[in-house]
Structure 1
Amino acid sequence: MERFQIIPLSLLVASDILVIYRITSDKNIVIWKYFISFLFVILYLFHNRLADDRRDFDFDNKFHPDRAVQRGLISLNKLKTLSFISIVLMILLSGSFNFLSLAIFIPLILYALFAKKDFFLAHDFKEKHLFGYNFLNMLQILSLQVFIYASMIDSLHFNSFICFHILFVFVLSLQVEVTRKIKPGTSLGKDLYSDRMGMGGAIVLWGSFGIFSLFISAYLAYMLNIDLNTIFLFEFVMLLLFFIGGTLYYLKKSLTYENYFWAIMFLTYIGQNLFLAYAN
């Protein structure tokens, strides 16, 4: 699907799993669980994309006629079939972990289905409260992280290390979400952050999530006993990249610099994860 970029998404998720591997290295978890976790996350995100395309069908018909469903490249029935298959596969994967995994999967998928119905909120809630609406949807990522860790360690008793990493991934995911919704111009549906805040305001929001992620990653690195000088140097480089990427995109407002903006988000996301996974 055009809106589900499997290769870059897989790289982001794989980098998250590498950090989980380091954090849980003392728990004697069999290696296949990390691979199953990776597959589950990809399937869950794929299911959410299918649900979004079905839920937003009428809106996209009006404001995004260039999308695959609107152009007839894939039908709603096909989306429904793929959604059902993805749920079945997720059930099988969660069952391969333990009973707790299956138990947590139920509220996890119910929340996703609830989100598909726009949480049964007023029809104009999204238009009037875009930020609140998007935050409700992003809570699925937070729940997904809880599911993955609970499945890995077969417990809901998380130490502070795990809790901070869950928060870290959530903040990175928020930054990815904001990245998707910053454009130089105004969209017809006014469903971008840059539509509501202006491009400058949206980039400040993007940078704020980036800086917040740096504070959390620095603390996680400290908990991993990574050398303090190495931490400060790395975080400074990441901060510099945020500043350069956001500033250039705001000043140039072109497709080329939008691609650079995306590249910097991608680089800093994976960079922070690789730093936490391998630095000493």
Structure 2
Amino acid sequence: MSSPLVEQKIEERNLPFYRRFWIYQKERFPLVAHTPLILAFSYCAVSISSRLRDGVWPQWPSAAVAFLTCLLFFLQLRIADEFKDNAEDARFRPYRPVPRGLVALGELGRLFVLAGLLQLAAALWWNPKLVILLLVTWGYLGAMSFEFGMRNWLKAHPIVYLWTHMLIMPLIDLYASSTDWMVAGMVFPPHGLLFFLAASFFNGVVIEIGRKIRVPSQEEEGVETYSFLWGCSKAVLVWWLMVLMTAVFGCLTAWKADMLAAIGPLLLVAACGCGIVVALFLRRQTERLAKMFEPASALWTLCLYLSLGILPGVIAHG
């Protein structure tokens, strides 16, 4: 362990928890970057449900409960990763917050439970029926945290690992949308929501692959990026294919909401923009261009969820 890291560890150890957590979130769960994406993600789920159901703007408590719960879901996913990757982090990434002692797993575990209590309280406050889907989502999150009891097998099959873990995305979106349709008295989601959930799944894959594309000089020992597993060219082509799949299901969602003419061209232009990033990288595979895929994934996500979540209401009621 390097001397600067030792000094940092000693200095951080004496900080109160709230300051240590503030450092932790900046490194591992940056609220400044995540909050706009999660807000767009959660609001879109509520808005598209309301649009498919009866074409009205969603109620503000639905949007608020969906946002709070989704934000905490993603925090729980990060904390779960800290537990399941602890051994690898300690061996290969001692600079991360948990291995260097900034926060302890026990503290993160208590934070995980507190997040769950807040989610439960929000569900009970808005509509107790929401607890049903909350428990389903918790159950899948818990199974993911233990790698479905097949950690070694999943590690040996990265594509299966990817899609089984990305199924949490449509589950979270289903819960967020239920703050609208379930509260409205529906037993099943509105017709057409399945297209939106499929778009959410593929968009989750876009984000996951986009944050793990690097050129060889950026690769770290013990970090299985998709560029390492598949090669740089194949990884970026798969990333763009996932963007296109997201666009297809986003357009199908817009079609069911009678907004394809307005939303389809936006998604097409954004997908073409992502294609330009891919073309530039394939032409010249540099570190600077490799770093573009994560922000490109974020911008694509914002375009998808803002167009589906806000445009229908603006056009219908503007």
- Asked if TM exceeds 0.5, the reply is yes
SS of structure 2 residue aligned to 1:72: coil
| Partners of 1:190 and 1:196 within 8 A in 2 | no
Give the 3 Å change call, closer, same or farther, for CA 227–176 of structure 1 in structure 2.
Answer: closer
**Structure with greater Cα Rg:** 2
2:163 corresponds to which of 117, 135, 138: 135
| Partners of 1:168 and 1:216 within 8 A in 2 | yes
Map Cα deviations across residues 205-233 of structure 1 (whole Å, 9 max, x no partner). Answer: 110110011112222233333363x5554
Aligned to 1:213: 246
| Partners of 1:97 and 1:152 within 8 A in 2 | no
TM-score by length of 1: 0.90
- Per the TM alignment, residue 37 of structure 1 is displaced from its structure 2 partner at its CA by 0.5
Aligned to 1:243: 275
Aligned to 1:180: 211
- Per the TM alignment, residue 51 of structure 1 is displaced from its structure 2 partner at its CA by 0.9
**RCO higher in structure (CA 8 A, sep ≥6):** 2
Deviation larger for 72-81 or 24-33: 24-33
| Partners of 1:40 and 1:90 within 8 A in 2 | yes
SS of structure 2 residue aligned to 1:157: coil
Give the 3 Å change call, closer, same or farther, for CA 273–141 of structure 1 in structure 2.
Answer: closer
Give the 3 Å change call, closer, same or farther, for CA 200–124 of structure 1 in structure 2.
Answer: same
Give the 3 Å change call, closer, same or farther, for CA 120–236 of structure 1 in structure 2.
Answer: closer
Give the 3 Å change call, closer, same or farther, for CA 50–253 of structure 1 in structure 2.
Answer: same
Aligned to 1:169: 200
Gapped regions of structure 2 (runs ≥ 5): 1-24
Aligned to 1:9: 34
2:258 corresponds to which of 225, 230, 236: 225
| Partners of 2:72 and 2:119 within 8 A in 1 | yes
1:112 corresponds to which of 107, 120, 141: 141
Once residues 165 and 102 of structure 1 are traced to their aligned partners in structure 2, the CA distance between those partners, rounded to angstroms, is: 22
Amino acid at match of 2:93: H
- Per the TM alignment, residue 190 of structure 1 is displaced from its structure 2 partner at its CA by 4.9
SS of structure 2 residue aligned to 1:195: helix
Once residues 270 and 232 of structure 2 are traced to their aligned partners in structure 1, the CA distance between those partners, rounded to angstroms, is: 22
Aligned to 2:112: 83
Aligned to 2:297: 265
1:60 corresponds to which of 85, 89, 104: 89
Once residues 179 and 233 of structure 2 are traced to their aligned partners in structure 1, the CA distance between those partners, rounded to angstroms, is: 41
TM-score by length of 2: 0.80
Answering whether residue 32 of structure 2 is matched by residue 21 of structure 1, we say no
Amino acid at match of 1:145: D
| Partners of 2:199 and 2:246 within 8 A in 1 | yes
Gapped regions of structure 1 (runs ≥ 5): none
| Partners of 1:95 and 1:102 within 8 A in 2 | yes
Once residues 307 and 59 of structure 2 are traced to their aligned partners in structure 1, the CA distance between those partners, rounded to angstroms, is: 23
Structure 1 ranges of 4+ moved more than 6 A: none
Map Cα deviations across residues 173-197 of structure 1 (whole Å, 9 max, x no partner). Answer: 1110111221112431252111111
Once residues 66 and 21 of structure 1 are traced to their aligned partners in structure 2, the CA distance between those partners, rounded to angstroms, is: 41
Once residues 284 and 96 of structure 2 are traced to their aligned partners in structure 1, the CA distance between those partners, rounded to angstroms, is: 26
Aligned to 2:72: 43
Amino acid at match of 1:163: L
Once residues 164 and 129 of structure 1 are traced to their aligned partners in structure 2, the CA distance between those partners, rounded to angstroms, is: 27
Aligned to 2:5: none
Give the 3 Å change call, closer, same or farther, for CA 50–264 of structure 1 in structure 2.
Answer: same
Map Cα deviations across residues 39-80 of structure 1 (whole Å, 9 max, x no partner). Answer: 100001101100110111001112222211112111112111
Once residues 111 and 134 of structure 1 are traced to their aligned partners in structure 2, the CA distance between those partners, rounded to angstroms, is: 14
Aligned to 1:194: 227
